[in-house]
Amino acid sequence: MGVLLLLVGSTGVQAETVIGRVVAVSDGDTLTLQVAGRESVRIRLAGIDAPELDQPYGAQARRALTALARHGTARVEVVDRDDYGRLVGTVYVGGRNINAALVAEGAAWVYRRYNRDSQLPILEAQAKAARRGLWGLPAWQRVPPWVWRGQDSPATRSPARPQTDRPVALFRCGAKRTCREMASCDEAKFYLNVCGLKRLDGDRDGVPCETLCR
């Protein structure tokens, strides 16, 4: 095992290929490699976003990545390093593209905000049409991880908020069930539209908790 550094002349950016043994799987899109001559290296799979462990299908996504990669020798084509120090890249085990395999199995969304692989949206559409993996869940449970984490998305972004990949504490589906438990109109709308809590919209006019959302 070793590390191979390649120079991409067209961009002047140094691209790294890391080869190591998969020794741990943290969740559906993060694993750890043991690389010869280096400490263990955490890898974030590029272009995809798997359900968080505390959301529907999170545990299944982790098992899917484990089945594909655990204890195998992986080759990672690194494209970036994220804010948490993880290398971000496409992972190959036995010549198989693990990023693509997870999307094809319905174990991860395409992370369109960062994706550079034109094949991933095609695989996602096929998985969705076949209702594979997370696409077989009820619609109200299919919450994209970036929404679950409360970070910026087209549905939650406001001009005053910077676009960042750091998790930001906003809302997440939890134990709240009534309008009296909602702290704001925005939270009520999140529970209605994302969590599927229809009881908040008693008159079915699309506006939840009208005492908050006047």
Task: Give this prediction's pTM.
Answer: 0.67
Enumerate the domain spans of the chain: 3-136
Q: 3-state DSSP call for residue 170?
A: coil
With bands split at pLDDT 50, 70 and 90, how would you rate the model's confidence at 11?
very low
Question: pLDDT (tens digit, 9 = 90+) per residue, 54-91?
Answer: 999 999 999 999 999 987 899 999 999 998 899 999 99
Which residues are annotated as catalytic?
A: 44, 52, 86
Q: What angle do CA 34, 1, 10 make, to 5 degrees?
A: 100
Which residues have CB under 8 Å from 131's CB, separation 6+?
Answer: 106
CATH architecture for segment(s) 3-136: Beta Barrel (2.40)
Q: What angle do CA 211, 213, 214 make, to 5 degrees?
A: 75
Closest of 52, 74, 76, 72 to residue 62, by C-alpha: 52
